[in-house]
Amino acid sequence: MRRARNRTECFLPRTPVSLESKTPAAPDTRLAHSGRPRPATANKDALANIVVVLDEPIDVVNIAGVIRGMKNMGLSRLRLVRPVDFDPYRIEGIAHRSADIIGSTEFHDTLEGAIADGVWVVGTSARPRTANCNYVRPREVAPTVVERAAEGPVCILFGREDRGLTNEALDRCHAVSIIPTAPEYWSLNLAQAFLVTAYEIFLAAGGAAGSLPRGRRATEPATGKELESMYEALQEGLSRIHFFKGTREPEAVIRTLRTVLGRADLDIREARLVQAIGFEIGRYLDRLKSQV
């Protein structure tokens, strides 16, 4: 094998390369356009039926980046079409604990062979090329990917780094996913483009089920009586340092503090800590007076 060149940008193809067959895939009418799905129990069976296909990847570092992203997002099936280089030792040095994917990677001589068993095929492109494709965003297509994966293998295609997928390859796709980027610098690294796509599929499969943990309360929520005592102590302390002067009316200042601290949803311990600040202001002033 030839040594991989250091080319990591995904560009539009300059000259389309013919594939053996040009039979276009039948258009699919079940594309989901409802945005991000609601998280549910992680659908591991669906993820197991999603096949990542890299067509003629050039740089082994990009292959390693894709494999690492697959581990991150619960994907396990990788197919390579005529890779320039494939060095398991180097790949595992970049994508740690990925021997399972490396060992099960399938190699194909043609793209047709790599997607032959796919019940649904999604291509990827940096930006629209022809008017005959069903273009979607990763977030839009991800729910359909998961849905169709319940029926059989769903192939997600990524083209080689220097030119992307050919037009003939895109003709074989039921949908073509495009990642929105800044127009001044729109090209993505192969591994980056894969990770964005895989992340949306992971979410669609319920991989982010449940809410993130909030800061744990030290005690029960503060009662209305405890909050009023807190505000009284604050007002007294601020008054003693002459904070209320000019346009700083006590009523307006305390009302603002009520709004700010109300958003914090204080527990008993937190309310008492704020109350202690007001008390300590007064005690400090008393100590100063006793020293005069």
Which one of 204, 238, 256 terminates a domain? 204
Query: What per-residue confidence (pLDDT) applies to 70?
Result: 97
Give yes or no: residues 230 and 194 share one domain: no
Same domain, 277 and 188: no
Is residue 63 domain-resident?
Answer: yes
pTM, 2 dp = 0.69
Per the domain annotation, does 68 fall within a domain?
yes
Domain identity same for 235 and 272: yes
Same domain, 72 and 188: yes
- CATH at residue 286: 1.10.8
Kindly state whether residues 145 and 101 are assigned to the same domain.
yes
- Whether 198 and 277 share a structural domain: no
Per the structure, the count of domains in the chain is: 2
> 48 and 188, same structural domain?
yes
Nearest partner of 223 among 269, 277, 280, 278, judged by Cα = 269
- How far apart CA 159 and CA 256 sit, in angstroms, is 57
Pairing of strands 154-158, 50-55: parallel
DSSP 5: P
For residue 246, what pLDDT band results from cuts at 50, 70 and 90?
confident
Query: pLDDT tens-digit profile of 25-35?
Result: 444 444 443 34
Q: 252 — phi, psi (to 5°)?
A: -70, -40
Query: Do residues 171 and 246 share a domain?
Result: no
Instruction: Judge whether 56 lies within some domain.
Output: yes
228 and 193 within one domain: no
User: What is the helix (H) or strand (E) element at residue 268, kind and residue range?
Assistant: helix 268-291
Residue 54's pLDDT band, with cuts at 50, 70 and 90, is very high
Looking at residue 17, its pLDDT comes to: 32
> The domain containing residue 229 runs over which residues?
224-291
Percent of the chain scored above 70 by pLDDT? 83
- Both 125 and 183 in one domain: the answer is yes
Residue 73, domain member (yes or no): yes
- Structure confidence at residue 42 (pLDDT): 53
Specify if 213 maps to a domain: no
Q: Please report whether residue 14 resides in a domain.
A: no
pLDDT tens digit string along 259-276? 999 999 999 999 999 999
Same domain, 73 and 145: yes
* CATH number of the domain to which 136 belongs: 3.40.1280.10
Is the domain of 189 the same as that of 244? no
Token pair 């699919």: residue: 28
Query: Binning pLDDT at 50, 70 and 90, where does residue 155 land?
Result: very high
Q: Is residue 121 part of a domain?
A: yes
Confidence of residue 291 (pLDDT cuts 50, 70, 90): confident
